[in-house]
Structures are given as structure tokens and as C-alpha cells.
Homo-oligomer: A and B are copies of this chain.
């Protein structure tokens, strides 16, 4: 959807920070901000049926996307969806067993299964996602920008090969070390699919896109470059950032990737997501101003008191320093048992202390 069909953006802090332009105060959004810690989310989720039913229902996905914006002064919305929509569209049979996390009915265990995989057409097989993007853009009415997202090829591959969440990655790492050609074929197909998928989200209205590499940090530095970063690099190169009358920034986030920030910045992405194991000031020194930085409060700080939350927000803003290009966020998704009032304390503290910094 060309940008001209939408109402003008009222709050562009997030997009300005991604472009390393001056802002009136530091923008903030929260990974998994539309989620189980919010009672209104739990209510909609119950109406929807399963988690997957909610993902596949554009109206309800829009509803939960907007819920945190009604409560908090967040500077961006993020599409409510799941990274595993892609393997589902590739025919693996996604399901969520209550309390057990995601699973696939038909995990990939050999080269033949990987060779048989097709590349889904995002407007066909993932049309419900694009419908959700269009619906959310319409309902946002220019309040804040909308972020689209996808999982990284490596992260998607871990679920597709293991068939479920994993701590040891026996199958996929067995493949990485024992049948690297098979894994590369899978990652190539996934890089193509993710590129098409993110381009379709941008065409539908996403104003920034983020690649979640949740499991890149479980790799050696060598394997990370070869099996995760190389494919994110292809995605960055393949995203049509200039389209629909706007420039769409790309954010890369490897959880546990603090040792590899320089290499991530070299992909040409616009911003890096940081987990909390790296000091954001140190990260700034290491990568310079060629990328914006998003992060990086430990989500567990939200278990502590409002005073402790405010102190940690102030510490992170101070460590980032006076330069432009900071989007405040947690270093990982918000946990489900967090008190929503603590999120308000966080968001308001970012805007209060971020202003003093600007």
C-alpha cells in the first residue's frame, strides 16, 4: 500500500531514531508488548480459540496489536504474529500444545524432505498476515509506525528440524556438523521465503521490519557466520527498502550475539537489537554510528520495584550517551507474569529521562 493512502504519521520518533536523526525523547517499544502479561490480551486470546487461531485472524490480531498502545505511550506497534507462520505455510503442520510450546507434525529430518519444500507465496499462503498488516495500518491511523517481522533462517530451521523447542539442538546441530549441505539448502530456501515475506509485509504497510534470530547465540562464532549471519545478510540485501513511497529500516536481533555486533552491523542493516549481556555504551563504541541500537534492559528488572526500574532505565540511557540512534526496548520479550503497571513505569521513565538526554 503506497504511503499516500494512509494518514500522516503523528509520532515518528521510532523511525527518526532508526535513521539516527535527532528526536525529542528516546522512543520505546517492548518485544512481545502485545502478550500474556495483559489481561485484555488473555481475554481476546480466549475468544479467538488457540494461539494459532489468534495469529490467523486479522481482526483479532489487529485488536491485540493495538491493546498495549491503549495503555502505554509506546512509540511503535509490532504486528501480532509468530515466527513459525513460515514453516507452517511450508507445510510442516504447526501446532501449539498447551503449556508445551510449538511443535510440528512433520519435522524435517533428511535432505529429501528439504528438497521437497516449496517457497510459499506470501500473499497466497500467508495472506492472513498481510491482511493483519493492512488492518493494523488502517486502525493505527498514523498514531505510531508498524513493525513487521520474521524469524531468521537459522532460528526457523532449529524448529523445523527439531520439530519443537529444544535446549540441546541435537537434530539441527547434528545436521549442521554432519550434513552441512542439507542445512544450507534449507537455509537458502528460508532466506528466499523470509525475503519475500518481509517485502510483502512492507508492501502491505509495515514501516520497519525486524529479523529475530532467537537461537543464533547457541552457535560457535564460525557456525554463526556461516549458518545464521550469512542468510540474514542475504535477507538485508533482498529487502526492497525503497518502495511504497518510503524507506523501510531493517533491524537485526541475535539473542546472545553480543560478541558479533560488528559483523552484524556489516550486513548493511539499519539497527541492531541488543540483549542485556552487552553494555549499550560499549556496543555504541564498537559499531559506531552506522547502525541504530535497540535495547537493552533485562526483562527481569520488571519484577523489581518502580524505583529499581527507573534507576535501570536511567543507567541504560546514560550509558548510551548523548548521540542519536537509540530505541529503548527490553533485551528479550517481556515475561508473562509482569505487572502491567511496571511497564507503564518503564515507558514513562524512558520518555522522561530520554528527554533530558536529547
Which residues of chain A have a CB within 8 Å of any CB of chain B? 168-171, 173-174, 176-178, 217-223, 256, 258-259, 276-279, 282, 298-301, 303-305, 308-309, 312, 315, 335, 337
Residues of B within 8 A of A220 (CB): 276-277, 279, 298
Of the A-B pairs whose beta carbons lie under 8 Å apart in the complex, a sample of 22, sorted by A's number, is: A168-B299, A168-B300, A168-B335, A170-B300, A170-B335, A170-B337, A171-B303, A173-B300, A174-B303, A177-B300, A177-B304, A177-B308, A177-B312, A178-B308, A217-B277, A219-B277, A219-B298, A220-B277, A220-B298, A221-B282, A258-B259, A259-B278
- Contact (A173, B301) CB under 8 Å given A168-B335, A308-B178: yes
Residues of B within 8 A of A303 (CB): 170-171, 173-174, 177-178
Closest 5 CB pairs of A and B: A177-B304, A173-B300, A174-B303, A178-B304, A177-B308
Q: Which residue of B lies closest to A297 (CB)?
A: B220
Residues of B within 8 A of A277 (CB): 217-221, 256, 259
Q: Which residue of B lies closest to A167 (CB)?
A: B335
Q: Which residue of B lies closest to A299 (CB)?
A: B168
Copies per complex? Answer: 2
Provide the bound-state CA to CA distance between A226 and B278, in Å: 15
Given A219-B276, A219-B277, A256-B277, 6 extra CB contacts under 8 A: A173-B303, A177-B301, A220-B276, A220-B298, A221-B277, A221-B278
Q: A335: shortest Cβ distance to chain B, in Å?
A: 5
Residues of B within 8 A of A177 (CB): 300-301, 303-305, 308-309, 312
Provide the bound-state CA to CA distance between A217 and B169, in Å: 19
Residues of B within 8 A of A278 (CB): 221, 259
Residues of B within 8 A of A308 (CB): 177-178
Provide the bound-state CA to CA distance between A282 and B168, in Å: 25
B256 pairs with A174, CB closer than 8 A: no
